[in-house]
């Protein structure tokens, strides 16, 4: 009689439980599943602003500590890709600002400043 060997089912990677990539949601960027909080947001809050995972969860109670840690793990596993996406976003914003020119508020403030400069002190 032959014995059958079975391999135990492999657990899904932690990030698959917590991280989603959905075209059309958050620009298709990796995000915490069932939220619109992106992996890059967690990275910025934790690494650049010095917030602890507990602080992040207290500000966003819909998140679990596991979500935050999964986002950080995803970031470090895909660091170059996420940082490139962030740089691309910054370049896009800069391009749009350059094309749009100064805002109406900035124009009005410049006009008021020019008017103030033309009035002699009295």
Give the contacts of 63 (CB within 8 A, at least 6 positions apart): 32, 35, 37, 56, 57
pLDDT tens profile 60-100: 999 999 999 999 999 999 999 999 999 998 998 899 988 88
User: What pTM was estimated for this model as a whole?
Assistant: 0.70
Residue 121 lies in a domain: no
pLDDT tens profile 19-33: 998 899 998 999 999
End-to-end alpha carbon distance in the chain: 110
Range of the domain at 23: 14-116
d(CA 55, CA 38): 17
Q: What is the CATH number of the domain that holds 88?
A: 1.10.10.10
pLDDT at 36: 95
Residue 74 lies in a domain: yes
Q: What total of structural domains would you count in the chain?
A: 1
Residue 80 lies in a domain: yes
Q: What is the DSSP string of 61-117?
A: TTS-HHHHHHHHHHHHHTHHHHHHHHHHHHHHHHHHHHHH-S-HHHHHHHHHHHHHH
d(CA 95, CA 87): 12
């Amino acid at each position: 009689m032959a014995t059958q060997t079975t391999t135990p089912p492999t657990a899904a990677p932690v990030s698959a439980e917590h991280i989603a990539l959905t075209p059309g949601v958050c620009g298709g960027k990796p995000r915490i599943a069932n939220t619109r909080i992106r992996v890059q947001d967690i990275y910025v809050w934790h690494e650049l602003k010095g917030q602890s995972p507990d602080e992040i969860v207290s500000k966003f109670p819909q998140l679990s500590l596991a979500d935050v840690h999964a986002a950080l793990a995803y970031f470090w596993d895909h660091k170059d890709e996420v940082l490139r996406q962030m740089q691309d976003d910054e370049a896009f914003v800069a391009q749009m600002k350059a094309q749009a020119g100064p805002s109406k508020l900035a124009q009005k403030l410049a006009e008021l400043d020019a008017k103030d400069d033309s009035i002699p002190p009295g």
